């Protein structure tokens, strides 16, 4: 997982994810040019209102963007927003991307999401979305992997955000090692 402080136009990815609180979707108007006003139309028609886990997926048609699609995901009411909600939102969009066979995701962490704690929660959520339990259930299961995950943040938050994501990676590697060690000690 990468943490980058770059303009979303410049990231080579399949899906750029932005988020908005319920009733505050006007914060997404900056994406109007990229989507040929589709984001504005979705807001006006109430197709996307920012309710928790609500998603809106649209192509990015502007030639100055490298990404192909934009996903807007709802954060719910701002008064109810927590770090756990940020984690769950990131997991939800990661699972939806995997279901749609979208391998590369860049989540924009701006506004309330642009703090080290929130970025760590986003990283945890995207990491959870990578887990695929299907191979435990089915013999001929062909899982789809998320190939590249990134969190786009501001320059001022980059160093702290990178440290937060490193903590997530360390926890995941330790948990993996412990699980493997425990399994190697099992006698059946």
Write the pLDDT tens digit of every residue in 8-52: 999 999 999 999 999 999 889 999 999 999 999 999 999 999 999
Boundaries of domain holding 16: 2-184
| Predicted TM-score (pTM) of this structure | 0.84
End-to-end CA distance of the chain: 36
Q: Give the chain's domain count.
A: 1
Domain of 156: which CATH number? 3.40.220.10
7 token code pair: 């303009």
Gyration radius from the chain CA atoms: 17
């Amino acid at each position: 997982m990468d943490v980058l402080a770059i303009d979303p136009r410049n990231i080579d990815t399949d899906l750029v994810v932005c988020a908005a609180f319920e009733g505050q979707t006007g914060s997404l108007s900056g994406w109007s040019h990229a989507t040929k006003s589709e984001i504005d139309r979705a807001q006006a028609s109430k197709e996307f209102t920012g309710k928790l886990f609500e998603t809106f997926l649209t192509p990015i048609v502007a030639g100055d963007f490298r990404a192909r699609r934009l996903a807007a995901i709802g954060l719910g009411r701002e008064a109810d927003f927590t770090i756990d909600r940020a984690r769950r939102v990131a997991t939800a969009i990661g699972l939806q991307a995997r279901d749609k066979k979208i391998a590369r995701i860049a989540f924009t962490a701006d506004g309330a999401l642009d703090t080290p704690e929130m970025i760590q929660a986003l990283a945890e959520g995207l990491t959870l979305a990578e887990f695929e339990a299907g191979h435990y259930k089915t013999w001929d299961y062909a899982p789809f992997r998320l190939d590249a995950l990134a969190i786009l943040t501001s320059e001022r938050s980059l160093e702290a955000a990178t440290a937060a994501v490193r903590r997530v990676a360390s926890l995941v590697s330790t948990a993996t090692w412990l699980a493997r060690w425990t399994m190697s000690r099992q006698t059946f």
